[in-house]
Structure 1
Amino acid sequence: MVTALLAFAVALGILITFHELGHYLVARLCGVKVLTFSFGFGPKLFSKRLGRDKTEWCISALPLGGYVSMLDERQEGMVVDPAEAHRAFNRQSVYKRFAIVAAGPIANILLAIIFYAIMAWSGQPEIRPVMDTPVAQSQAAQLQIQRLDQVVSFGDKKIEGLEDFNWAILEHIGESNVPLVLDRGGTRFTVDFDLRDIKIDEDSTSPFAQLGINLWYGYPVLFNIQKGSPAALAGIKDGDVVLSADGRYGLSVQELVNYIKDKGETSIRLVVQNEEGQAREVIVRPEVRAVDDGKGNQVERPVIGVNVGIKPNLIWLSKGPVDGLMAGVDRTISITKTTYKAVVQMITGEASTKNLTGPVTIADYAGKTAQMGWRVYLSFLAMISVSLGLLNLLPIPLLDGGHLLYYLVEILRGRPLPEWAMQAGQKVGLLIVLALGALALSNDFIRLIQ
């Protein structure tokens, strides 16, 4: 619980502070006087005035974000020196005000790009995107996808790791005839997927499952070779990877175990590969022994005297300065498109509003990802940063997007909206935000109960 709260506070502190930093920097570029930049809310624990404008930089008691206060003649109780009135926010052109308000959400998008670029620069192991035998009668099966087909590209995206494949599918949801390029034994071919009926929903299975796609995660690896066992007599060594059994390639761990069991005492021709990458063929003949069935009972079963695990089919992905930055841009675009489609599906009723999450769920995810390592936590921060940016761009009065809507109307009309219209919009916006917040919180508590 403490870890979750701490990770949540750090996340909000970073994301909202960076959001406000966007407002601050563009306000300064536009000549607006910034009075206060606070890290956190509530009582000020520390403050210092810096710069030509003597901007007050504060650390406040509640580290759940931050705020920027600008010179503004409309703000109640604020006395503006006539000599500085030209630097008030409300005196700026509509285009400058638009830029200052838009800078916050844009800063969150840029922060996500930076986070994803850092992960790309540092490098990380990923599962290779390799297909397994698809679910019968599924779309993947109808396209005759086979085990060990290597994913090359999906849509217009080159696919290097499994995460790339996942985001590429999410990005193209709602589209038809999306080309998937596969490599089968050195020969490339293309099949087209229809993603129009794929749902991004808490109650739905994953897009992979909806398409009938199974993924192949790696070859079986043999270890703990028993002395005098059939495996030892056949020359099998610890760490040998099973490439095939009697010509059957790409068997899973369970399939290999079942195959040995079903063969009885009939010899099996295995092609194995040692840790140096050298492949060889061995003939092993199982023998029937009394073994534990996993429930505490002894049963007679054909065995070869080994333990079987899996050798993950990993690839190390690391990018240079430019490619890493472009990877950050690409991943952020994918998340933006996916988030937009999820929101549209909720609005149209295609997806449940149960997908809307609030602070309790986000805090839970923050704690879990923080415990899983800095990469996972940084990825979580990037996703939340994108969500925060997009949320603030919604054209709802009270959010940044609502102010941008006012400014767009002002540009089209050639003059600002009447004060009464903006005040009415703020009240409507407040009701919408409160309703969305209440829905998100109720979803959070339902998840906790379940």
Structure 2
Amino acid sequence: MELFSSAYDILIGYIVPFLFVLTIVVFFHELGHFLVARWCSVKVDAFSVGFGREIFGRNDSKGTRWKLCMIPLGGYVKFAGDENAASVPDRERVAAMSDEERSGAFIAKPVWQRAAVVAAGPIANFILSIVIFSMIFMTFGKIVTLPIVETVQAESAAEIGGLQSGDLILSVDGKEIPTFADLQRIVSVSADVPLLLEVERGTSVVTLTVTPQYRELTDRFGNVQRLGLLGVSRSPQKEDLIQKTYGPLEAVAAGTKETVFIAERTLDYLWGVLSGREAADQLGGPIRVAQVSGQVATQGIIPLLSLAAVLSISIGLLNLMPIPMLDGGHLVFYFAEAVRGKPLSERVQDIGFRIGIGLVLLLMVFATWNDVVHLTKS
């Protein structure tokens, strides 16, 4: 009975939230490919959420097989003339097609149309993120705190940099700071990076240089995060709390800003990993996503939707990496084709796809290893 209860808890607490989040993200990514393909008159053989054996599916009026498969770790849209789910062309099959069939094959379309179809997946991920954030802002708004310093910790980055209690942070590196949360977000990803602060102190404005200190923090779920910290606390006064509401256009603008911010910080972290400035152990795979999904689900549907938006951005950026097998790799091939006036040779493309498979598998193994290490430490 205990074993059954434990399995039920894992199913409801982790697997269901994980599948909810991942299915939303994957579906919209593939829907982007699908809609632009239809617009470009590409015949779509299959639209799949998941890989492996089909659980159930149906054919639509244009011959596309819509299906849900057993392995829920991704999805694909398979076009006419494709050899597999990664859109590797089946040249022998295309050569054997009639003229009418070939006109609907993905490989037979102009390079700009193929590029548009491929780019539509990541773009759909970014649009999904904007929509989710916009809906949350428009429906619930948010309570924000003015960026007023209440206390300064002894020997902290703030004290060393000259911040004082009562200071109102106006800008960081020339960027306006309307809320305390905006200050935290910039500081958290700027460990050991000098920041130029404009501060209103009394009736004057002073300029300070503050370098956030590198710290490890453990959240209430036991997850360890490495962040930059100033060592200040926000004002608890009611008059410094603001209930911010958004109209439709303001919500879209705020959702777009949120999406751009997360994308920028994600790219900054990845560049930090490549340059050796950041540790790569924060890169997570499906196990980590499932764990975080379960943790966030305990806080309600809105945090879970926010996680879906963040994951959607990550999936969009990942797919734009210039690695063959990913959307970004296809776009590199199409760019080369547009410049040369003809496609790269079959041999070059085959080698590229083989390298891409190796890199993707290596990334998956590395991310899963990080997940396992993270679990053993928590």
TM-score range, shorter chain: 0.7 to 0.9
1:407 maps to 2:299: no
Q: Which runs of 5+ in 2 are unaligned?
A: 1-9, 83-88, 218-222
- Aligned with 2:205 (options 173, 189, 202): 189
Q: Distance in 2 between matches of 1:32 and 1:416?
A: 19
- Aligned with 2:47 (options 31, 37, 40): 37
- Aligned with 1:94 (options 86, 104, 111): 111
Alignment of 1:33-432 (within 5 A): 33-51=43-61, 53-72=62-81, 74-75=89-90, 80-122=97-139, 123-169=141-187, 178-185=195-202, 187=203, 189-193=205-209, 205-208=226-229, 212-218=230-236, 314-432=241-359
CA positional deviation for 1:115: 1.4
1:20 maps to 2:41: no
Which amino acid in 1 is paired with 2:116?
Answer: A
Task: Name the residue aligned to 1:302.
Answer: none
Which amino acid in 2 is paired with 1:39?
Answer: V
CA RMSD of aligned residues (A): 3.0
Which amino acid in 2 is paired with 1:342?
Answer: Y
Describe the shift of the 1:174–1:395 C-alpha distance in structure 2 as closer, same or farther (beyond 3 A): farther
CA positional deviation for 1:119: 1.9
Describe the shift of the 1:60–1:133 C-alpha distance in structure 2 as closer, same or farther (beyond 3 A): same
Q: Distance in 2 between matches of 1:445 and 1:407?
A: 37
1:440 maps to 2:367: yes
Q: Distance in 2 between matches of 1:153 and 1:431?
A: 45
1:408-448 residue CA offsets vs partner (Å, 9 max, x unmatched): 12122221111111111111111111221111111111111
Q: Distance in 2 between matches of 1:381 and 1:432?
A: 25
Describe the shift of the 1:54–1:433 C-alpha distance in structure 2 as closer, same or farther (beyond 3 A): closer
Q: Distance in 1 between matches of 2:287 and 2:131?
A: 26
Which amino acid in 1 is paired with 2:117?
Answer: I
Q: TM-score, normalised by structure 1?
A: 0.71
Partner-residue secondary structure (3-state), 1:35: strand
CA positional deviation for 1:137: 4.8
1:44-70 residue CA offsets vs partner (Å, 9 max, x unmatched): 34433334x232323334444432111
Q: Distance in 1 between matches of 2:106 and 2:298?
A: 43
- Aligned with 1:10 (options 20, 41, 52): 20
Which amino acid in 2 is paired with 1:24?
Answer: F
Q: Distance in 2 between matches of 1:190 and 1:54?
A: 67
Which amino acid in 1 is paired with 2:316?
Answer: G
Greater share of helix: 2
Q: Distance in 2 between matches of 1:6 and 1:217?
A: 39
CA positional deviation for 1:371: 0.9
Partner-residue secondary structure (3-state), 1:379: helix
CA contact (8 A) 1:120 1:327 kept: yes
Which amino acid in 2 is paired with 1:431?
Answer: G
Partner-residue secondary structure (3-state), 1:68: strand
Q: Distance in 2 between matches of 1:99 and 1:437?
A: 27
CA positional deviation for 1:164: 2.4
CA contact (8 A) 1:181 1:188 kept: no
Partner-residue secondary structure (3-state), 1:66: strand
CA contact (8 A) 1:134 1:146 kept: yes
Which amino acid in 2 is paired with 1:93?
Answer: P
CA contact (8 A) 1:199 1:350 kept: no
1:81-138 residue CA offsets vs partner (Å, 9 max, x unmatched): 4313112100111111111111111111111111111221121234443323334455
Identity of aligned residues (%): 33
Q: Which runs of 5+ in 1 are unaligned?
A: 220-310
CA contact (8 A) 2:192 2:228 kept: no
Aligned residues between the structures: 353
CA contact (8 A) 2:285 2:371 kept: yes
CA positional deviation for 1:77: 6.1
CA contact (8 A) 2:214 2:226 kept: no
CA contact (8 A) 2:162 2:208 kept: no
Describe the shift of the 1:409–1:336 C-alpha distance in structure 2 as closer, same or farther (beyond 3 A): same
Describe the shift of the 1:413–1:370 C-alpha distance in structure 2 as closer, same or farther (beyond 3 A): same
CA positional deviation for 1:330: 0.9
